[in-house]
Amino acid sequence: MINFQLTDDQLALQEKAREFALNEVLPISQHYDQTGEFPRKIIARAHKAGLMNLGIPKEYGGPDYGSLDSVLVVEEFSAACAGMTTSIYVNDLGLAPIILGGSEAQKQKWLPPLTKELRFVSFATSEPGMGSDVAGIKCSYERKGDDFILNGNKFWITNGNHADLFVIFARQTGSERHTGLSAFIVPADTEGLSTGKPLKKLGHRASDTAAVILRDVKVPAENLLSTEGMGFLLAMMTFVKTRPAIGAMATGLARSAMEYAINFAKQREAFGKKISSFQAIQDMTADMYARIEAIRLLTWKAAWMVDQKTDGNLANVASSCAKLIGAEDAMKIVTDALQIYGGKGYLEQYPIQKLFRDAKLYQIYEGTSQIQRYVISRYLFKEYNPIMKNF
């Protein structure tokens, strides 16, 4: 049976996130976008309110929210500020490999401290020479006695300058492609690990993005996640779990873009009439609403499949659909919303340009739109079972 009714607990969680986003995040979102400061204070408040590290299970002190619960929260936050949302919820990306691939001892050691105080976890697959092609990671490791020694450069690492902990993906020296990759928990204060200056970006300026440099970084064997050679699979399993959240971010941002556009259209006059009376403007807003409904449904479905632990590849494809269509439609919606603002949409003093800049990232990080299409088409050509059999 299909049921789109949220539970009372989910409605309460959504309301709590909405209030926090409207009262604490929205009023200062322009400030952090303009200054590029890291919003530590506000993130600390989100942490205190129990709106961070959503996926940490109860037995490790976390709120134990499912994927569907999480996307409700994330939509509200990103409707207020996409950059802060990325800063806050990248922890769930960093934590996922520990939750999915960590031993009981690793979970007991690394998860509870995150719930007690504000600590940041960064996820690092990307490098200066690769992002999409995860099997092409060059950052290397070698076993030396009870330790692994890591060398290489990571790039584009969200919250890199603020991370207390990194989950770093590296390749056994001399290995090839997928099978040689492993994942390690690396505390930020480990000797030999350093970070670069915050990278200046088009949008998401309230989130820090940095290079991470590893020079003979000694990681104890007990910090290896899962087993050697499982790094690629762990990264892919992580994305299945986290891509619905990008669909939710896209939904939240698109919702705000639509609301700004409607509000503007009700006030602006041209040819002696409110522009909201023009069919062309009404059509654009109607399309926005319909697309937002569609991407929210795709996001909820993907999140639900993750919660149901649906067969890996079907959840994988659903997550890619939510991320792909979410990102593409959010870009289209915010482009039309800016169009409704006319010339004012192009000015810094109006909020819509920030949303326009922020939306672009959804088509790039956690797998570009081209990579989501690759995931979906690979399923279609290899596994999809056609309904019409007689070709």
Among 368, 376, 378, 379, binds ligand FAD (CB under 6 A): 368
Per DSSP, what are the bridge partners of residue 301? Answer: none
User: Taking the complex as a whole, how short is the minimal distance between the CB of residue 154 and ligand FAD, in angstroms?
Assistant: 7
Contact mark string toward ligand FAD, 269..308, x via CB under 6 A = ----------------------------------------
Site for ligand FAD in 80-99 (CB under 6 A): 90
d(CA 170, CA 153): 10
Tokens of 390: 């007689």
| 60 or 123: CB nearest ligand FAD | 123
Give the CB-nearest residue to ligand FAD: 131
| Amino acid code (one letter) for 156 | W
Q: Provide, rounded to whole angstroms, the least separation between the CB of residue 365 and ligand FAD.
A: 4
In the numeric block, which tokens belong to residue 122?
């960064």
Could you tell me which residues come within 8 angstroms of residue 310 by beta carbon, excluding any fewer than 6 positions away?
318
Please, which residue, 61 or 131, has the CB nearer to ligand FAD?
Answer: 131
Token pair belonging to 204: 């998401």
Q: Which helix (H) or strand (E) holds 257?
A: helix 231-267
Q: Does 156 engage in binding with ligand FAD (CB under 6 A)?
A: yes
**Does residue 125 belong to the site contacting ligand FAD (CB under 6 A)?**
yes
Parallel/antiparallel/unpaired status of strands 209-220 and 147-158: antiparallel
Q: How far apart are CA 119 and CA 188, in angstroms?
A: 11
- Whole-number CA gyration radius for the chain: 21
Binder among 95, 124, 334, 355 for ligand FAD (CB under 6 A): 124
Backbone φ and ψ of 119, nearest 5°: -135, 145
Q: Are the CB atoms for 154 and 211 separated by under 8 Å?
A: yes
Which uninterrupted H or E stretch holds 225?
A: strand 224-225
Q: Does 364 bind ligand FAD (CB under 6 A)?
A: yes
Is there a catalytic annotation at residue 366?
A: yes
Verify binding: residue 377, ligand FAD, rule CB under 6 A: no
x/- contact string, 303-342, with ligand FAD (CB under 6 A)?
----------------------------------------
Whether 18 and 26 have beta carbons less than 8 Å apart is answered as no
Q: How many helices (H) does the chain have, and how many strands (E)?
A: 12, 10
User: Judged by CB, which is closer to ligand FAD: 68, or 95?
Assistant: 95
Q: Which is nearer to ligand FAD, 178 or 201 (CB)?
A: 201
Task: From residue 263, give the alpha-carbon distance in Å to each of 27, 171, 249, 279.
Answer: 18, 52, 21, 16
Of residues 124 and 248, the one with the C-beta less far from ligand FAD: 124
Number of C-beta neighbours around residue 51 at 10 A: 24
Active-site position among 191, 222, 366, 383? 366
Q: Are strands 121-124 and 165-172 parallel, antiparallel or unpaired?
A: parallel
Quick note: the x/- pattern for ligand FAD over 186-225, rule CB under 6 A, is: ---------------x--x----x----------------
Residue among 7, 103, 132, 308 that touches ligand FAD (CB under 6 A): 132
For residue 131, state whether it binds ligand FAD (rule: CB under 6 A).
yes
Query: CB of residue 53 vs ligand FAD: minimum separation in angstroms?
Result: 16
183 binds ligand FAD, rule: CB under 6 A: no
Q: Which positions are catalytic?
A: 366
Which chain residues interact with ligand FAD by CB under 6 A? 90, 122-126, 130-133, 156-158, 201, 204, 209, 361, 364-368, 370-371, 374
